[in-house]
Chains A and B, each alone.
Chain A
Amino acid sequence: MALMDDLGKSLEQSAGGSVILTSLDAVLDFTRGHSLWSQPMGTACCAMELIAASFSKFDFDRHGVFPRADPRTVDVMIVAGTITRKMAPAVLRVWEQMAEPRWCIAMGNCAVSGGIFYHDTYSVMPGVDSFLPVDVYIAGCPPRPEALQDAVLQLRAKISNQSIVAGRTYHHKLLLPMPTKGVAVRGTGGESS
């Protein structure tokens, strides 16, 4: 990414570079938006709809979205399901393993805000955006695969406005994760994915 950032910066500073920059942005945004490989971070009920989405009835591969197990090659993490305090470090770890540029879709009420498990519980995170930058939220408990399809198209529209220049790229400021009681959250999660 550093290479792309430098390229973007030097293009922006040079005379006439912005013409090249905008066309480069257009090409890259278009290809990135149309080739969103997903990391299925399915933890609970929504994972069923996430599986259904890539199978015969809905077939997300038509749009170039297909699930990959290894986080290094994927572009979008689809967090589907409740994230508990025990799971949060592992989700964060997988997110950190993903290569830039990366995006995140929060699928279902639990991932959006904690949903039905928001109140009265001692172990559920109130939404995955308390420790991850989320691009698209899908409501529903669980959302239908069509809703996920719409989210992918929304994300595509969002990507089409991004630039490779560092100042304007999609750099997230990571919020600190909520600690489990007593001990800091990092470093206790799962190895690799």
Chain B
Amino acid sequence: MPLEPGASTVPVNEDGSAVRETVVNLGPSHPSTHGVCRVIAHLDGEIVTRAELVIGYLHRGIEKMAEHRTYLQIMPLTDRLDYVGSMYANWAYCQAVEDLAGIVVPERAEYLRIITCELQRIASHMMSVGSTGNDAGATTLFVYAFWVREQVLTLFERLCGSRLTYNYVRPGGVSFDTPDDAWIDEVRAFCKAALPRFNEIDRLFFGNVITKGRTKGVGVLSAEDAINASVTGPSLRASGVDFDLRRDEPYSLYDRFSFNVVVGENGDVFDRARCRLLECYESVRLIQLALDQMEPGRVKAEAVSRLIAPPVGETYKTLESARGTLGVFLASDGGVRPWRMKVRSPAFSNLGIVGPLCKGYTISDLIMILGSFDPVFGEVDR
């Protein structure tokens, strides 16, 4: 099998003889690499002795493209970063532009951002939990989880006309107000209807003895290792680190809500997947609180030009996306186009630990561990 230069050398035993091992190549188009990732797994029997991740198969050069576009023209590019949860990239980018240009966002817009992003969190986590099930062979779980996701997408479609790439959060607010009051009722109805679905998924998958056998004690990541390896988001919290940007460094209006941060115990695949499911319950609560507090008003700041030209400077703003700390770095030279845009993507940072973590587990576990970090390769590769 042709490997890239330097990608692999034949490992040798202490006495210099070659280790007898199989090299299995998963990807870049493999059903369970969650996109276009390639894993070169060196196996001794079924045990992984070395796993190397090759990414970059979806590197589209968004950061370079951003240097040739005005601040508003970059918005559609941010949608395509994290295509499972587009709202977050929208929002993170808008936060950075607003910080750079000094735009103040109206309150109703902030509430709408929180509501849509928490809905997006449910949609994204459902995708993640479902694909964990799919990796384990429980295809039906994926369909059930996707059913919940479809409900969220229908709500988004009513709100901003798109199922996947919303372009909803804009510098200075959001693009549309709620279409009518019925939409708010639909969101409330969804919140009610989603909870039994979460319970169902919890019982069907996480209560199953095979699932527990497959996921408990697999891919254990200790708290220290997780912090040191720049793991953020649910994957970090599953390792027992009680840290959530929404609560600890509140942005937007998150300091007005009280909610629980879901923290796992062991940091294994089971905890990472279940933390995501439990976060959905908290998201439902946040949505309900935000809907109660929201009051009529403007949804877009008045003085936002179509041609934003912020003063010279840099900014870096972060938010808690479904995968972790999503940050956007913007450097302006005073012109209408950013001098440099950089996206700090949580999926990319989380994925770095997967290769070393897989060592010593079987090839079946490798699939589960890779999936449990919930990589979205649009965001990993940018």
Which residues of A line the B interface, CB within 8 A?
Answer: 41-45, 47-49, 51-52, 55-57, 69, 81-82, 84, 86-87, 90-91, 94, 116-117, 119-124, 141-142, 144, 187-193
Q: Are B147 and A57 in contact (CB under 8 A)?
A: yes
Q: Are B58 and A82 in contact (CB under 8 A)?
A: yes
Q: Are A124 and B29 in contact (CB under 8 A)?
A: no
Q: Are B25 and A142 in contact (CB under 8 A)?
A: no
Q: Are A84 and B58 in contact (CB under 8 A)?
A: yes
Give B79-102 as 1s and 0s: 1 = Cβ < 8 Å from A's Cβ atoms.
110011000000000000000000
Q: When chains A and B are docked, how far (Å) is the Cα of A188 from the Cα of B87?
A: 36
With a cutoff of 8 Å between Cβ atoms, the chain B residues found around residue A48 in the complex are 83-84, 127, 164
Task: Pull 28 A–B residue pairs with CB atoms less than 8 Å apart, ordered by A.
Answer: A43-B29, A43-B36, A43-B57, A43-B377, A44-B80, A45-B165, A47-B35, A49-B163, A49-B164, A52-B153, A55-B143, A55-B147, A56-B147, A56-B150, A82-B58, A84-B59, A84-B60, A86-B56, A86-B59, A87-B28, A90-B36, A116-B80, A119-B65, A120-B64, A141-B165, A187-B2, A191-B2, A193-B29
Q: Return the chain A residue nearest B66 by Cβ.
A: A120
Give B122-136 as 1s and 0s: 1 = Cβ < 8 Å from A's Cβ atoms.
000001000000000
Q: Are A56 and B83 in contact (CB under 8 A)?
A: no
Q: Are A84 and B57 in contact (CB under 8 A)?
A: yes
Among the listed A43, A55, A86, A119, which residue makes an inter-chain contact with B68, where contact means beta carbons less than 8 Å apart?
A119
B376 to chain A, nearest CB (A): 10
Q: Are B1 and A44 in contact (CB under 8 A)?
A: no
With a cutoff of 8 Å between Cβ atoms, the chain A residues found around residue B64 in the complex are 120-122
Known: A43-B35, A56-B143, A116-B77. 13 other contacts (CB 8 A): A43-B58, A43-B377, A45-B83, A48-B164, A84-B57, A86-B56, A90-B28, A116-B80, A121-B61, A144-B163, A190-B27, A193-B29, A193-B30
Tell me if B173 counts as interface (CB < 8 A to partner A). no
Among the listed B56, B60, B76, B165, which residue makes an inter-chain contact with A82, where contact means beta carbons less than 8 Å apart?
B60
Q: Are B35 and A123 in contact (CB under 8 A)?
A: no
Known: A44-B80, A86-B59, A123-B61. A55 touches B146 (CB 8 A): yes
Q: Are B150 and A188 in contact (CB under 8 A)?
A: no
Q: Return the chain B residue nearest A93 by Cβ.
A: B29
The SS class assigned to the A binding surface is: loop
Tell me if B356 counts as interface (CB < 8 A to partner A). no
With a cutoff of 8 Å between Cβ atoms, the chain A residues found around residue B147 in the complex are 55-57
Q: When chains A and B are docked, how far (Å) is the Cα of A58 from the Cα of B208?
A: 28
With a cutoff of 8 Å between Cβ atoms, the chain A residues found around residue B30 in the complex are 69, 193
Give B44-82 as 1s and 0s: 1 = Cβ < 8 Å from A's Cβ atoms.
000000000000111111101100110000001101100
Q: Are B143 and A190 in contact (CB under 8 A)?
A: no
Q: When chains A and B are docked, how far (Å) is the Cα of A123 from the Cα of B60?
A: 6
B260 to chain A, nearest CB (A): 29
With a cutoff of 8 Å between Cβ atoms, the chain B residues found around residue A49 in the complex are 163-164
Q: Are A190 and B25 in contact (CB under 8 A)?
A: yes
With a cutoff of 8 Å between Cβ atoms, the chain B residues found around residue A47 in the complex are 35, 83
A102 to chain B, nearest CB (A): 15
Tell me if B31 counts as interface (CB < 8 A to partner A). yes
The SS class assigned to the B binding surface is: loop
With a cutoff of 8 Å between Cβ atoms, the chain B residues found around residue A94 in the complex are 29
Q: How many residues of B contact A (CB 8 A)?
A: 41
The 7 A-B pairs of least Cβ separation, nearest first, read: A45-B83, A191-B25, A121-B61, A69-B31, A87-B57, A120-B68, A120-B65
Q: When chains A and B are docked, how far (Å) is the Cα of A142 from the Cα of B229?
A: 34
- Of A55, A141, A187, chain B has the most CB atoms within 10 Å of the CB of A55
- Of A42, A49, A94, A116, chain B has the most CB atoms within 10 Å of the CB of A116
Tell me if B180 counts as interface (CB < 8 A to partner A). no
B153 to chain A, nearest CB (A): 8
Tell me if B342 counts as interface (CB < 8 A to partner A). no
Tell me if B4 counts as interface (CB < 8 A to partner A). yes
Q: Are B38 and A190 in contact (CB under 8 A)?
A: yes
With a cutoff of 8 Å between Cβ atoms, the chain A residues found around residue B1 in the complex are 191
Q: When chains A and B are docked, how far (Å) is the Cα of A123 from the Cα of B218?
A: 36
Give B8-30 as 1s and 0s: 1 = Cβ < 8 Å from A's Cβ atoms.
00000000000000000101111
With a cutoff of 8 Å between Cβ atoms, the chain B residues found around residue A119 in the complex are 65, 68
Q: Are A42 and B57 in contact (CB under 8 A)?
A: no
With a cutoff of 8 Å between Cβ atoms, the chain A residues found around residue B378 in the complex are 44-45
Q: When chains A and B are docked, how far (Å) is the Cα of A121 from the Cα of B80?
A: 15
Q: When chains A and B are docked, how far (Å) is the Cα of A123 from the Cα of B61?
A: 7
B108 to chain A, nearest CB (A): 29
Known: A55-B146, A142-B165. A44 touches B83 (CB 8 A): yes
Q: Are B35 and A42 in contact (CB under 8 A)?
A: yes
Give B31-42 as 1s and 0s: 1 = Cβ < 8 Å from A's Cβ atoms.
100011010000
Q: When chains A and B are docked, how far (Å) is the Cα of A121 from the Cα of B69?
A: 12
